[in-house]
Amino acid sequence: MPKPARTQPLDPASVCRSADPLAVRELLTRVGDKWTIFTVLSLDLLGGRARFSDLERAVPGISQRMLSATLKTLERDGMLTREVFPEVPPRVEYEMTPLGRSLLHPMQGLVEWAKENWNQVRTAQSRYDDR
């Protein structure tokens, strides 16, 4: 007989005290994504509006494939708008929506934390590894 599952069913009161912890969790997974964070922050640094190629240059190390996918998801989620100019060669501009801009503040909080604390984390890691 297989061992019964050890994990408990979802508890609405747990973790985030939200009416829908599943939705919040999914959203967190999304906005916590590396490429999403860097794309959003880069678009902000570029003045809130930029072309595909601008972002490609601004986001260090992203591939066209991932940039395309990330932008599509962000557009679907209402974080930015996509405007196509009927020219040759094509021009496409992405602009942050108010919803996207509202994400900036909490996101920058995390980035600030990372900037301020990565030294401490590094030393903790080497202390752990030496042991």
Partner DNA sequence: TCAGTTACTTACGTCGAGGTAAGTCATGCC
Partner DNA sequence: GGCATGACTTACCTCGACGTAAGTAACTGA
- Judged by the rule CB under 7 A, the positions of this chain that interact with DNA are 2-3, 5, 33-35, 51-53, 61-66, 68-69, 71-72, 82, 88-92
Q: Is 61 in the site for a copy of itself (CB under 8 A)?
A: yes
Taking only Cα atoms into account, the Rg of the chain, rounded to an integer number of angstroms, comes to 19
Here's the x/- map for a copy of itself, 12-31, by CB under 8 A: it reads as --xxx-x-xx-xxx-xxx-x
Q: Which does 47 bind (CB under 5 to 8 A by kind): a copy of itself, DNA, none?
A: none
**Separation of alpha carbons 79 and 73, rounded Å:** 9
Single out the residue of 61, 60, 51, 54 nearest to residue 83, CA to CA. Answer: 51
Q: Got the DSSP string for 64-93?
A: HHHHHHHHHHHHHTTSEEEEEE--SS-EEE
**Separation of alpha carbons 92 and 64, rounded Å:** 14
The least distance separating DNA from the CB of residue 48, rounded to whole angstroms, comes to: 16
Residues lying near a copy of itself in the complex (CB under 8 A) are found at 6-11, 14-16, 18, 20-21, 23-25, 27-29, 31-34, 37-38, 41-42, 45, 56-64, 75-78, 99, 102-103, 105-107, 109-115, 117-118, 120-125, 127-129
